[in-house]
Amino acid sequence: MSATPLSCPVPQTFEFVPELDEFLELFPHRGSFLWAEHPQPGQRPHWNTETRHLLSDRLIKQGAYLYGVRFGSHTHYLMIDLDRKSCYHPYRDSLAVRRILAALEPIGLVRYVAVSSSYSGGIHLYFPFVQGQPSWLIAQTAKVLLENAGFNLARGQIELFPNARLSWGADYNGHRLPLQSGSYLLDPDWQPMHTTPERFVYQWRLAESANSASTPLLEQTVKQAERRPYRRLKGLAQKFLNDLNAEIELGWTGYGQTNRLLGRIALREYVFYHAIHGGQPLTGGQLAERILEVAESLPGYQQWCRHQHEIVRLSLYWARCIELSNYYPYGGQSLVESTSAHLTWNQQQSQDARERIQLAVAQLLEAGTLPVTVKARVAALKSLAKVSSDTLYKNKDLWHVENGLKAAPCEEFHPDPENRGDLRSLEPRQQGGFHPPGTNKLSPTSVPAPQGPGTDGTTALSEGEREGEIHSPSRGPKPEGIELLRSILQDLEARNRRRKARYRMTVQEVPPDERWFQPVIAGLHSQ
């Protein structure tokens, strides 16, 4: 014989008897509710908390007590309480509610239902939305937005329901249910008007259809707007990190922002990543990968970033730029404080020029085309970074060879000494032309030594020689002491004369004749 339901009961959840009341359905959380006796005129109610049973629809309808409700894990509305003595009350600041609307607009809350809280004259603003949101998230987001807008969230001024809890597991603050004693709908002039539950529900649905809060939007907004306390950071370091977060987390909002964003991402991850996430400071390839990861996760990247085809290369460039800058990982050398909010126009231009120079140096290093000489390096950076020579020399620490910034050898800047011109190539031939300094193909490869002086006091010419050709002196013992110093000075003086001779030749508009070379050759013979 099978057991009957009475002989084998199934555990059930004990719930209150629901009424078909659309108004009461707007406030579904009935656990840990508030209750109070009706106060005497001019006095405040004394609220108590009841946790032994749920608040039922029939108790509310009975009206023997005043009731208030709290919030569960999710909510379909946000409520703001303005005390009668608050500086934000419409009677004291007629534009305060508009400022509240402007602050909450980024999360899609644009319309409210206004009711008087009680005979005290306080105002409750209900912001309903269709899709239920995590109570802690909507509370934290609204708190951050209102505080950033300059509102002082405090008891007696402006309060949020649900409130931003200080610890997990604690109950949310409860609020008085609307349309009880002294609670009425308010018109646009904040005057009470005849109120019924049906009229309240009608206005609720209108506001609900206008508000568009969503969980992704709330999460992104609180991430962008919240200034978090970081236990591992001290003093101005916390402000610096929060300033960087405010610039980065908003992501792309238009074209032309890629390099600026990558620069701020590189700065934040290089200075603070290890302090927040642990481990060693990021450098090199790891830093570039982190910059890429953050950039691709920011809002607006797919829509506004027009450098997606080269984002990997740009991430590497900015990783190298930040490592070449004056910034250091947190805990190392002195932290460069963020002063962008107080920079003058000239200081902002100077900072922008430094960033362009850093990027240009990184690009030249990546391509292996960073010139070796200072002059060539200046020319390359002026063209690539679009800065003047004065600006470059004001920022020598970013590019100058004196600071140890080396470049890979390049043939362009290391000419072959064998290809340099010889002064003998400038000697005219008998027909008045010029000839290269190569060997004479009609003479033997080995040239015999010069002959001794003849009987007439002249020097005999070897085969293939011409009169006036210069001979190197024969090698003898190396000079020492004063003679060595004198020979070095003579060699330097000769080189200087040859350099000047080449320069005079290059500036001539027509080829020089024999008379022009006579003083030059005579000077060389005098050596």
User: Phi and psi (nearest 5°) for 488?
Assistant: -65, -45
Residue 408 neighbours by CB distance under 10 Å:
10
Burial of 82 (0-12, 13-18, 19+ CB in 10 A): buried
CB of 176 within 8 A of CB of 183?
yes
Query: How many Cα atoms are found within 13 Å in the side-chain-facing hemisphere of 443?
Result: 11
CA max distance for the chain: 153
3-state secondary structure of 81: strand
Report long-range pairs for 9-16 (Cβ below 8 Å, ≥24 apart). 15/54, 16/53, 16/54, 16/55, 16/56, 16/57, 16/58, 16/59
Query: How many whole angstroms separate alpha carbon 415 and alpha carbon 373?
Result: 13
Query: How many whole angstroms separate alpha carbon 489 and alpha carbon 469?
Result: 24
Q: What is the pLDDT of residue 485?
A: 54
- Cα angle: 253, vertex 298, 265; to 5 degrees: 95
Q: Which domains does the chain have, with CATH numbers?
A: 76-217 (3.30.70), 227-341 (no CATH), 343-414 (no CATH), 489-527 (no CATH)
CB of 144 within 8 A of CB of 225?
yes
DSSP letter (8 states) at residue 479: P
Q: Is the peptide bond before 448 cis (omega within 30 degrees of 0)?
A: no
Query: How many whole angstroms separate alpha carbon 68 and alpha carbon 49?
Result: 9
Residue 423 neighbours by CB distance under 10 Å:
17
Q: What is the pLDDT of residue 293?
A: 94
Q: What is the pLDDT of residue 319?
A: 92
| 330 Rama class: left (phi>0) / alpha (psi -120 to 50) / beta | beta
CB of 70 within 8 A of CB of 163?
no
How many residues belong to the chain?
527
Alpha carbon of residue 280 to chain centroid? 21
CB of 372 within 8 A of CB of 413?
yes
Per-residue pLDDT of the chain (527 residues; tens, 9 = 90+): 444 444 555 455 556 667 778 999 999 989 889 999 998 888 889 999 998 889 988 999 998 999 999 999 999 999 999 999 999 999 999 999 999 999 999 999 999 999 999 998 899 999 999 999 999 999 999 999 999 999 999 998 999 999 987 666 678 999 999 999 999 999 999 999 999 999 999 999 999 999 999 998 898 888 877 777 777 788 788 888 888 988 998 899 899 889 999 999 999 999 999 888 888 899 999 999 999 999 999 999 999 999 999 999 999 999 998 988 888 898 865 444 444 456 788 888 888 888 888 888 877 876 778 888 888 889 998 888 889 989 988 888 888 877 666 665 444 434 444 443 443 433 444 444 444 444 443 334 444 444 444 444 444 444 444 444 444 444 456 555 556 556 666 776 776 676 666 555 444 444 455 555 566 566 655 55
Query: How many Cα atoms are found within 13 Å in the side-chain-facing hemisphere of 476?
Result: 6
SS3 string, 192-206, reads ECCCCHHHHHHHHHH
Locate all alpha helices (DSSP H) within 368-507, ordered by sequence.
374-385, 389-394, 482-506
Q: What is the pLDDT of residue 399?
A: 82
3-state secondary structure of 41: coil
Q: What is the pLDDT of residue 110?
A: 95
Q: What is the pLDDT of residue 114?
A: 96
Query: How many whole angstroms separate alpha carbon 483 and alpha carbon 314?
Result: 59
Give strand pairing partners of 160.
Answer: 80
Give strand pairing partners of 175.
Answer: 69
Burial of 113 (0-12, 13-18, 19+ CB in 10 A): buried
Q: Which helix (H) or strand (E) holds 66?
A: strand 66-69
Q: What is the pLDDT of residue 16?
A: 66
CB of 470 within 8 A of CB of 478?
no
CA dihedral 438, 439, 442, 443 (to 10 degrees): 160
CB of 78 within 8 A of CB of 183?
no
